[in-house]
Structure 1
Amino acid sequence: MGHRDADGVDGAGVVVGRDNEVRQVRKVLAEARHGRGGALLVQGEPGIGKTTLLAAATAAPAGMQLVALSGFEAESQLPFAAVQRLVIPLREFLPALPPRHLRALEVASGAAAGPPPDRFLIGLGVLGLLAAAGAVRPVACVVDDAHLLDPESLDVLGFVARRLEAEAAAVVLAARAGAGLEQQLAGVPQLPLSGLALEPAVRLLTQSMNEPIDPAVAAQIAVATGGNPLALTDLAGELTVRQLTESSLGDEPFPVGRRLEAFYVRQVRALDPAGQVWLLVAAADATGDHDLIAEAAAKLGLPDAAAEGAEEAGLVELRATVRFRHPLVRSAAYNAPVGRERRRVHRALAEVAESMGLSDRAAWHAAKATLGTDEAVAQRVEQAADRAGERGGFASRASVLTQAAALTPPGGDRYRRLVAAAEAALAAGTSQLAKDLLDDVDEDDLDDLTRGRMLALRAQWALFTADPALRHTGADLLEAADLFEGHDDELEQKTLLLAWELALPAERLATGMSWQHLGRRMAQAAQRRPGPPAVLLEALSAHLLLPFEQAVPALRRAAEVLADLPPEEMLLYGHCSAALCSALWDEQLRRLCLERWAQAARDAGSLQQLDTALWVQSLYEITLGNPRGATDFIEQVRELRRAIGYEAEHVINVALLAWTGVPRAQVQAMAQATYDTGFGGVHSSAVRGLAAIELADSRFESAYDLLVPFYEEPFFHTSPIGYPDLIEAAVRSGRRAQAEAVLELLQARAEACGTPWIVGATARSRALLSRGAAAEKHFQEAIEVSTVEAELGRAHLLYGEWLRRARRRREAREQLQKASQLFTRVGAEAFRGRAQRELEAMGEATAAPDPAEGPALTAQEATVARLAAAGRTNAEIAATMFLSSNTVDYHLRKVFSKLGISSRRQLHDRLQP
């Protein structure tokens, strides 16, 4: 007969009843050995055998370096604590990382000072580290008790697990089921671990008994415990066959989970008093730090031999660190004593940790030792939260500040700390926690600065969650800016810029404020403190208050300042570039600024900022009539969402749908949904998209009806972009006087801006209202000036139509063919169809554009291929898609194989028509 060795392991060291699960874990490791990285999350209830499964399946993996980690509660509020432990055995590969990734890891681990790094930038660093290590020897990163990791490390590991593809590395995690890890580990393949089947459960119980047991009784016990291996092995070791037989005849199930913990409580209480207190010290610290535990035990007057009884009872193992037999044993040791005794132990641990220079752990223990409120302890905990924030640990900062607030006597300081905790929670992406914290704040006890921060935070929460309160965010931020006035000039300026940023998506739906008042407040705040924010405020104030022609110099000055901002400032103010450059009709400067904004976010690992920047770029490309470019950016947004574990298929650019053939009724329904939510800007973009398709299909009356509201009730820089389409719709539907009135406005803007985009669009529009040689002259001017491909295509199209009606068939054919080629290049199929119909009317044979031949590319392969075709290097593509260079190379090789090509030049020719 075998003997009990570990949960679910027989005397031969074989995991009982887990053959399939062991194979699944080993398959992940085997794939990694062959350069196909992957991950697996093992989940199950306490005692189900997760630790045993990991140990058996990953023991000395052939040809691999094993990096093993475990979660500890005492480290759960020390940001990136687990990442730091992961990096240590792989530190020889750190020089292979890009400097910004290396710097992020150093700051996160406390080895260097610097701006707090984004957790996803650290994720890219860890991904690169595993890739570099795997290139020398495959790596298996095995993480037990993942639910006890600090949230930042868990985010990093989830990010890495989702991005492993062509690396010789694997990540295997084990966590307690129901521990709330759904978001952080979303997208990671899961292996649910349930109880053993009847036959292996009986075999395990029988092998674990010191005397024979009736098979029928063993089967009843197996059923009663749900096949939980820990329950089976521990009960077998502690109860006699007679006790088990008697228990099996009752209706009460065997102890599992909480009841199994009660079973261990009885074992703890069987120790002598000194042994129980020592076990409490070890349980209270949780990290297993032998020196800290020993000094705290000595401080409490415990004899050196106090630990021996716990070890002899099989509750702990004393090695380099103190390890509990199972988390339930630790829980029992911690919960068995009364609260007063736990606080006494934490107080001793706090004093020893402080003497050892472990300030954060000392603050944590001091908080646990405090009953009620204590401002001095609250200050220590707040300082620990500040240190977490300096390392980029916003989730930990939120959690620690919440503790600090709970320790703070009622009043302003308590609510100030709650507001700060909510700020950190939103920065970490935990929007519901941020809202819950704000709901606990008593506004009457806040000073002006804290109340302003709270209002600003609520406004950002509305945008983050797409809450209908988005309509009121501009008004809330104006109020916040008023509260900052006279207290913090820099914060006042930033808040007014944020008011513009968050009110802009609502457009006309914004409530509780006037745009003129916002403009006046911007002008006032711009005078208080020089610098880029002041320049931007002056420009936006002019945009809101002055006639367009008078506002252009300030707009131009601000746009040029934006284009030259360093990356760290571009992160703060890049969002302004879309509005400023759109107002100037400067597509080249707008593209430059938006690309610099996105790159700054990418380099900083600020994926929330990058998500916004890519989304704005998608909207920008569709306003230029470039569905292909808009699709590229939407795919990048989706790739980003996949990287951070969000649902990617819900990312929709409604205007793009209109351009790509989605039925009008469906687009209208989606546009209305965005309108109802408060996103008036998205709704306007969708309506303009629908109008463009109506023009392409020669439904001019319908296009006019969709576009004329933008003329009758214009909204600053967004409505005039639709004026060229409105002029075409008005001319073609017999509304010449209306077209001339709109052209007059467009001409004034063109004279003030002088950029190729608006000059070309104006010339094209004027041609529609001209006759004979004058019309031809304006068409030719539009073709000569236009630099936007879709705009150039529209000029060729209209000129070709004019030439055909003038019966100049050869020239018309040339213009229409150029238009068709340009529309094919940008993916504007509706307008290509209009050009093709004109060609067919002249008797020209036409054909659909020749798509890339060969097997279809996956979404990820297509994105890699498009970026490579555009001239991006593997490293640049990797940074764009949050992959390793190995994975990019792997996808490119697959793309080349599928398309039957062998070079990037051929790829460019295939994908850049």
Structure 2
Amino acid sequence: MNADRKRGGLPVWRHSVGLTGRHAERELLDQLVAAVTHAGESRALVIHGEAGVGKTALLDHLAAHAPGCRVVRGAGVQSEMELAFAGLHQLCGPLLDRLEHLPQPQADALRTVFGLRTGPAPDRFLVGLAVLGLLSEVAQERPLVCLVDDEQWLDHASAQVLAFVARRLGAESVGLVFAARVLSRDLDRLPALPLAGLPDDDARALLEGALAGPIDEHVCDQIVAETRGNPLALLELPRGLTVGEVAGGYGLPGAVASEGGLEETFRRRVEALPGRIRQLLVVAAADPTGDPALVCRAAGRLGIGPGAAAAAGDAGVAEFGTRVRFRHPLARSAVYRSASPEDRRAAHGALADATDEHVDPDRRAWHRAQAAPGPDEDVAAELERSAGRAQARGGFAAEGAFLKQSALLTQSPKRRAGRALAAAQALINAGAVDDVRDLLTMAESGRLDDGQQATVDLLRAQLAFVTSRGGDAPALLVTAARRLEPIDTGRARATYTDALLAAIFAGRLAGSGGSVLEVARAAGAAPRPQHPSRVPDLLLEGTAAGLHTGYAAGVPALRRALAGFPTDLTAGEQLRLMYLANITAVRLWDDEQWELLSARYLDLVRGTGALGELPLAITARAPALLLAGDLTGAAALTDELEAVKEATGSGIAPYGAMGLAALRGDTAEAADLVAATIDDATRRGEGIGLVFTGWAEALLYNGLGRFDEALAAGLRATAYDEDLAGLNWVLPELIEAAARCGTTAVASGACAQLAEMADATRTDWSLGTQARAQALLSTGEAAERLYREAVARFGRTRLRVDLARAHLLYGEWLRRERRRREAREQLRRAHDLFESMGATAFAERAWRELLATGVSARKRTVAERPEDLTAQETQIAVLARDGLSNPEIGTRLFLSPHTVQYHLRKVFAKLDVTSRSQLDRVLPSDPPVDSR
């Protein structure tokens, strides 16, 4: 770089002195490169430390010492934090020639967010999968190293996607290295390299190597001590000293170790520059693109000639070459912050004028907003128009950012309220709720009409439900729905439906005015729709009637609703109502509809790329497979859910995993899952979680034959019975445990509740469950008739677990009746079914009963996953066995196809097979259907 001579005879300082010290850090980076280039592995790393500590220098070292690798770089820019996917575009822009090799939905997702095509905003996790696939494709040609500087200033969308990719890297030959000041929540689970100041010897060497003349030993020691070895501070601090101060030890500086001190050093340097050069630097600092042509055009609009760029470069603050690059982000920050508000507005105004409104209308709108001295309706309207385009690329969070800025520049109180409410709704939809309360306060600062006040109430209620699914949400949603009634009947009814679902979730932990009975009473009085009843109307009316009037009252409407699903709905309505439809099928004891709806839900989410819905879709599907006896499939989905939760940060309760652990008889895992779910559900106010933990415990202990513990769990789960349909899984467990413990009053009361639902639904599932429960309390011919009815009814369903349990209970009863031969027949059927499923606890219980009948045959081993395979290898092997391609498996498990292939090679070696077609003979298959 050019030399820089200061007042007072300051010696010439050399700006580039190489990387001093950092031997351990360099060795770690060399190991990362070796793993990527030689071992074919992928690695992620976060280098974090204070400003100026040398993070960028280590990235530069890595870029220069990655032989055979392609290196791409990107960086967060503070002024671009509101522009969705700006940082990602920096990194991936040079790689887009490989887009055509991605699956079409993934390629389209990237084209959309980068503005190469129009279309609905893709799910951010689909974008993450697309970036993972893109990096993997590029790395096929040669290993790829991606460097991301200043991660703390990435826009939120880019930060989320890149963190997602970093967590899912496997065997693609990709290195992804971040530099950040602090470990963000997105990056805190990645391998990290904390960076502190240089040791004293290295700090002295750096300082002395950067000086063109001698330095007094005492001054050197003082500078090293005060900077605490911060390399940037070591290089910048002496620039404010004269030759005499450096060489003779006079006028020692004050401490500048802090980030603020470093910025102050740059600020003083900038303030010493002529006005026109300062203004040019302000323009460069306000432009995040680094485009020298754009900066030059903007400077020209301010009357700054082309010669100013050379003078600005000589100042040692920024370089003006093929890109405009500041010496350090703190230099950019110092330039921008030290400028007067008028100078900053002038810079943004010039950049807006210099930006082509057809090529980059949204960045132009953003500059215009920063240039506005006060409310400006023209600019606010332009931002509002940009919000729609931003939503198409970056989703609701990007839309919310533009609408929030639009609201801030709006003078009309009514229009400002409308834009603030639109911004709040977009941010709630995005799950980015930090600014929502401030936006609602902004909206309420003026006089609201009834519709706007109703929207405020609705958004506050949605905020409560989204953030915790807790006890406050039901009552808030009812309040919002009541306000909407005279304004918008359709929105009011949709809000009542949300309130009912929230009340079902909250259960016993609902706040005042939010119990299922109170919410159902309010929803039942909702104004009638202005059109013939459709599926959404029937779901609302049936759910409300079933909770308020009585279980049977809701059945007809709910059956009609499920019968119209999905033909009577748009794709958007399907996604919004699909979870409610699934739990409605369960609450109606309709296993056929549950099977169809849960499978469709999963397919719909995957097919549309709405991966944010995936945790709920898996939660609906996994128990359906579990009760159908497909424990292998349920296990694959629960493992997938863990991958989804890791990738997305979802905190959904592990209901499927609890049931799986209970059926397998895994007391330790079940206890851990139950304890964690109780703590989480209680904290958030999700009372339904307490019902499901009680069900899982009762199921576990019934399988183990520990009936007193099963009884205690069942009583805890059913202590709150205002929502009868919510108890349909736990009541049969309570009845079996109570009957075994001789607590006939408890068992009879639960049987009566079960009978109320069975009489209303008349499905084989409900009637079979009722028959099995009544048989436990009956004797003689009545008991045998009921057991046979239970076996016959469950044999007509998909519910293999319930069928096996009916055989087990019938066999146990026959043995007590001393009918050993008949008992052995029933118990063997039960044992074989349980064993084929992997339901270990119940299989052991059936085997003990068989031994008691005099059977001496050797017990077969319960089918489990091959011991040599890891959990992830088992997932991949099962999906490959079921016919999924590598890209399809990668999409399911958030892995690149190359990582899938890597694991499959290991699976083949461990199982001693050579092709996918052979997996079927070495992996557990689904249990056979037995309708006997």
What TM-score do the two structures reach when normalised by structure 1?
A: 0.89
Is the CA contact (8 Å cut-off) linking 2:836 and 2:863 kept in structure 1? Answer: no
Partner of 2:769: 761
- 1:794 corresponds, among 795, 800, 805, to 805
Residues 643 and 744 of structure 1, relative CA distance in 2, 3 Å threshold = closer
Residues 862 and 790 of structure 1, relative CA distance in 2, 3 Å threshold = same
- 1:892 corresponds, among 882, 896, 904, to 904
Partner of 1:318: 320
Residues 663 and 907 of structure 1, relative CA distance in 2, 3 Å threshold = closer
Amino acid at match of 1:471: G
- 1:301 corresponds, among 278, 300, 303, to 303
Is the CA contact (8 Å cut-off) linking 1:731 and 1:768 kept in structure 2? Answer: yes
Could you report, residue by residue, the CA deviation over 1:269-300 in whole angstroms, capped at 9, with x for unpaired residues? 33322222212211222322223222221111
- 1:453 corresponds, among 448, 452, 455, to 455
Residues 75 and 693 of structure 1, relative CA distance in 2, 3 Å threshold = closer
Partner of 2:597: 593
Could you report, residue by residue, the CA deviation over 1:831-883 in whole angstroms, capped at 9, with x for unpaired residues? 33322331232344576845658756444334334544555443333222211
How far is 1:682 from its partner? 1.4
Could you report, residue by residue, the CA deviation over 1:584-628 in whole angstroms, capped at 9, with x for unpaired residues? 212232133123223333444444422233234456667778877
Q: Does residue 408 of the first structure (1) align with residue 416 of the second (2)?
A: no
> Where do 1:235-254 residues align within 5 Å?
235=237, 239=241, 242-245=244-247, 250=252, 252-254=254-256
Partner of 1:536: 539
- 2:645 corresponds, among 641, 644, 652, to 641
Task: Tell me how far apart the structure 2 counterparts of residues 228 and 694 of structure 1 sit (CA, whole Å).
Answer: 60
> Where do 1:594-633 residues align within 5 Å?
594-618=598-622, 632-633=636-637
Task: Tell me how far apart the structure 1 counterparts of residues 179 and 120 of structure 2 sit (CA, whole Å).
Answer: 32
Task: Tell me how far apart the structure 2 counterparts of residues 866 and 373 of structure 1 sit (CA, whole Å).
Answer: 60
Range 22-31 or range 851-860, more displaced: 851-860
Q: Does residue 156 of the first structure (1) align with residue 161 of the second (2)?
A: yes
Partner of 1:834: 845
Task: Tell me how far apart the structure 1 counterparts of residues 746 and 314 of structure 2 sit (CA, whole Å).
Answer: 94
> Where do 1:231-630 residues align within 5 Å?
231-235=233-237, 239=241, 242-245=244-247, 250=252, 252-254=254-256, 257-353=259-355, 358-409=360-411, 411-438=413-440, 441-442=443-444, 445-466=447-468, 470-510=470-510, 511-513=512-514, 514-521=518-525, 524-528=527-531, 531-544=534-547, 548-549=551-552, 551-564=554-567, 567-618=571-622
How far is 1:791 from its partner? 0.2
Task: Tell me how far apart the structure 2 counterparts of residues 700 and 334 of structure 1 sit (CA, whole Å).
Answer: 71
Partner of 2:690: 683
How far is 1:805 from its partner? 2.1
Is the CA contact (8 Å cut-off) linking 2:290 and 2:323 kept in structure 1? Answer: yes
Range 796-805 or range 340-349, more displaced: 340-349
Task: Tell me how far apart the structure 2 counterparts of residues 907 and 202 of structure 1 sit (CA, whole Å).
Answer: 66
- 1:127 corresponds, among 115, 132, 135, to 132
How far is 1:381 from its partner? 3.1
> Where do 1:18-97 residues align within 5 Å?
18-33=22-37, 34-59=39-64, 61-97=66-102
Is the CA contact (8 Å cut-off) linking 1:74 and 1:287 kept in structure 2? Answer: no
Amino acid at match of 1:837: R
Is the CA contact (8 Å cut-off) linking 1:159 and 1:645 kept in structure 2? Answer: no
How far is 1:825 from its partner? 4.2
Task: Tell me how far apart the structure 2 counterparts of residues 621 and 680 of structure 1 sit (CA, whole Å).
Answer: 24
Amino acid at match of 1:406: L
Is the CA contact (8 Å cut-off) linking 2:619 and 2:655 kept in structure 1? Answer: no
Partner of 2:788: 780
Q: How many residues align?
A: 902
Is the CA contact (8 Å cut-off) linking 2:864 and 2:924 kept in structure 1? Answer: yes
How far is 1:434 from its partner? 3.1
Residues 697 and 274 of structure 1, relative CA distance in 2, 3 Å threshold = closer
> Where do 1:2-17 residues align within 5 Å?
14-17=18-21
SS at match of 2:667: coil
Residues 499 and 811 of structure 1, relative CA distance in 2, 3 Å threshold = same
> Where do 1:713-752 residues align within 5 Å?
713=721, 715-729=723-737, 731-732=739-740, 746=754, 749-750=757-758
> What is the alpha-carbon root mean square deviation over aligned residues?
3.7
Amino acid at match of 1:64: C
How far is 1:98 from its partner? 1.7
Amino acid at match of 2:480: A
SS at match of 1:68: strand
Residues 671 and 349 of structure 1, relative CA distance in 2, 3 Å threshold = closer
Task: Tell me how far apart the structure 2 counterparts of residues 647 and 737 of structure 1 sit (CA, whole Å).
Answer: 39
Could you report, residue by residue, the CA deviation over 1:630-654 in whole angstroms, capped at 9, with x for unpaired residues? 6544433321121135789999966
SS at match of 1:142: strand
Is the CA contact (8 Å cut-off) linking 2:877 and 2:919 kept in structure 1? Answer: no
Residues 685 and 627 of structure 1, relative CA distance in 2, 3 Å threshold = farther
Is the CA contact (8 Å cut-off) linking 1:563 and 1:589 kept in structure 2? Answer: no
How far is 1:581 from its partner? 0.6
Amino acid at match of 2:56: T
Is the CA contact (8 Å cut-off) linking 2:703 and 2:841 kept in structure 1? Answer: yes
Is the CA contact (8 Å cut-off) linking 2:627 and 2:802 kept in structure 1? Answer: no
Task: Tell me how far apart the structure 1 counterparts of residues 613 and 250 of structure 2 sit (CA, whole Å).
Answer: 60
- Segments of structure 2 that go 5 or more residues without pairing to the other structure are 5-12, 928-932
Task: Tell me how far apart the structure 2 counterparts of residues 283 and 102 of structure 1 sit (CA, whole Å).
Answer: 33
How far is 1:793 from its partner? 1.2
SS at match of 1:573: helix
Residues 528 and 710 of structure 1, relative CA distance in 2, 3 Å threshold = farther
Task: Tell me how far apart the structure 2 counterparts of residues 856 and 645 of structure 1 sit (CA, whole Å).
Answer: 30
Task: Tell me how far apart the structure 1 counterparts of residues 200 and 238 of structure 2 sit (CA, whole Å).
Answer: 16
Task: Tell me how far apart the structure 2 counterparts of residues 322 and 118 of structure 1 sit (CA, whole Å).
Answer: 33
Q: Does residue 116 of the first structure (1) align with residue 129 of the second (2)?
A: no
Task: Tell me how far apart the structure 1 counterparts of residues 153 and 678 of structure 2 sit (CA, whole Å).
Answer: 44
Q: Does residue 879 of the first structure (1) align with residue 884 of the second (2)?
A: no
- Segments of structure 1 that go 5 or more residues without pairing to the other structure are none
What TM-score do the two structures reach when normalised by structure 2?
A: 0.87
How far is 1:125 from its partner? 0.9
Task: Tell me how far apart the structure 1 counterparts of residues 233 and 345 of structure 2 sit (CA, whole Å).
Answer: 31
Is the CA contact (8 Å cut-off) linking 1:44 and 1:192 kept in structure 2? Answer: yes
Is the CA contact (8 Å cut-off) linking 1:72 and 1:286 kept in structure 2? Answer: yes
Task: Tell me how far apart the structure 1 counterparts of residues 692 and 828 of structure 2 sit (CA, whole Å).
Answer: 29
Task: Tell me how far apart the structure 2 counterparts of residues 58 and 645 of structure 1 sit (CA, whole Å).
Answer: 31
SS at match of 2:394: coil
Residues 234 and 408 of structure 1, relative CA distance in 2, 3 Å threshold = same
Task: Tell me how far apart the structure 1 counterparts of residues 655 and 20 of structure 2 sit (CA, whole Å).
Answer: 45
Is the CA contact (8 Å cut-off) linking 2:45 and 2:177 kept in structure 1? Answer: yes
Could you report, residue by residue, the CA deviation over 1:68-88 in whole angstroms, capped at 9, with x for unpaired residues? 222233432221122233333
Task: Tell me how far apart the structure 2 counterparts of residues 873 and 252 of structure 1 sit (CA, whole Å).
Answer: 64
